[in-house]
Amino acid sequence: MNVVALAGGVGGAKLASGLSRAVDAEQLTVIVNTADDFTLYGLQISPDLDTVMYTLAGLANPDTGWGMHGDTWQAIDMLKNYGMEPWFHLGDRDLATHLLRTQWIDEGIPLSVVTRQLARRLKVTSTILPMSDDPVHTLVDSDRGPLPFQEYFVRYQWQPVVQALVFEGASEAEPAPTMLRRLETADTIVICPSNPYLSIDPILSLRGVHDVLLNATAPIIAVSPIVGGEAVKGPAAKLMKELGIEASAVEVARHYAEFLNGFVLDSRDAALRPQIEAMGMGVLVTNTIMQSLDDRARLACEVISFADQLRPEKLGGCKLDA
Amino acid sequence: MNVVALAGGVGGAKLASGLSRAVDAEQLTVIVNTADDFTLYGLQISPDLDTVMYTLAGLANPDTGWGMHGDTWQAIDMLKNYGMEPWFHLGDRDLATHLLRTQWIDEGIPLSVVTRQLARRLKVTSTILPMSDDPVHTLVDSDRGPLPFQEYFVRYQWQPVVQALVFEGASEAEPAPTMLRRLETADTIVICPSNPYLSIDPILSLRGVHDVLLNATAPIIAVSPIVGGEAVKGPAAKLMKELGIEASAVEVARHYAEFLNGFVLDSRDAALRPQIEAMGMGVLVTNTIMQSLDDRARLACEVISFADQLRPEKLGGCKLDA
How many structural domains does chain B have? 1
* pLDDT value, residue B322: 72
Query: Within a domain: residue A108?
Result: no
Is residue A316 scored above 80 in pLDDT?
A: no
Q: Which residues pair with A142 in a beta bridge?
A: A145, A162
- Record: contact A74-B76, CB cut-off 8 A: no
Query: Within a domain: residue B77?
Result: no
C-alpha–C-alpha distance, residues B11 and B33, integer Å: 13
Query: Within a domain: residue A135?
Result: yes
Residues B143-175: tens digit of each pLDDT:
999 999 999 998 999 999 999 999 999 999 999
User: B319: pLDDT confidence band, cut at 50, 70 and 90?
Assistant: confident
C-alpha–C-alpha distance, residues B65 and A155, integer Å: 37
Partner residue opposite B42 with nearest CB, options A84, A102, A122: A102
- Record: contact A82-B100, CB cut-off 8 A: yes
User: A276: pLDDT confidence band, cut at 50, 70 and 90?
Assistant: very high
How would you classify the pairing of strands A162-168 and A137-142? Answer: antiparallel
Q: Which of A49-53, A86-90, B182-186 has the least mean pLDDT?
A: A86-90
Query: Within a domain: residue B65?
Result: no
* pLDDT value, residue A320: 87
C-alpha–C-alpha distance, residues A55 and A53, integer Å: 5
Query: Within a domain: residue B104?
Result: no
- Record: contact B95-A100, CB cut-off 8 A: no
Between A66 and B110, whose confidence is greater? B110
Return the residue in A85, A98, A99, A124 with the most chain B beta carbons within 10 A, the one to mutate for interface testing: A99
Query: Within a domain: residue B102?
Result: no
Instruction: Give SS3 for A271.
Output: helix
* pLDDT value, residue A312: 84
- Record: contact A103-B75, CB cut-off 8 A: no
Return the residue in A50, A78, A114 with the most chain B beta carbons within 10 A, the one to mutate for interface testing: A78
Per-residue pLDDT averaged across A129-134, rounded?
A: 98
- Record: contact A106-B72, CB cut-off 8 A: no
Say what the ipTM of the complex is.
0.92
* pLDDT value, residue B315: 83
* pLDDT value, residue A322: 72
Residues A34-86: tens digit of each pLDDT:
999 999 999 999 999 999 999 999 999 988 889 999 999 999 999 999 999 98
Return the residue in A40, A74, A93 with the most chain B beta carbons within 10 A, the one to mutate for interface testing: A74
Is residue B321 scored above 90 in pLDDT?
A: no
How would you classify the pairing of strands B43-45 and B38-40? Answer: antiparallel
How would you classify the pairing of strands A145-148 and A137-142? Answer: antiparallel
**Rounded (10°) CA dihedral A89, A91, A95, A97:** -90
C-alpha–C-alpha distance, residues B276 and A111, integer Å: 60
- Record: contact B42-A106, CB cut-off 8 A: yes
* pLDDT value, residue B316: 77
The one-letter code for the residue type at B121 is R
Query: Within a domain: residue A50?
Result: no
DSSP symbols for A49-96: HHHHHHHHTT-B-TTTSSSBTT---HHHHHHHHTT----S---HHHHH
Domain that holds residue A292: 1-37+125-322
Q: Which of A125-129, A152-156, B34-38, B115-119 has the least mean pLDDT?
A: A152-156
Q: What global pTM score does this model have?
A: 0.93
Q: Which residue of A has its CA nearest to B78?
A: A93
Query: Within a domain: residue B296?
Result: yes
- Record: contact A40-B83, CB cut-off 8 A: no
CA distances from A200 to A31, A215, B45 (A): 10, 18, 38
- Give the CATH number for residue B220: 3.40.50.10680
DSSP symbols for B43-102: EEE-HHHHHHHHHHTT-B-TTTSSSBTT---HHHHHHHHTT----S---HHHHHHHHHHH
Q: Which residue of A has its CA nearest to B76?
A: A96
Mean pLDDT, chain A, rounded, equals 96
The CA distance from A210 to the nearest CA of chain B, in Å, is 36
Nearest Cα to B202, choosing from B131, B292, B125? Answer: B131
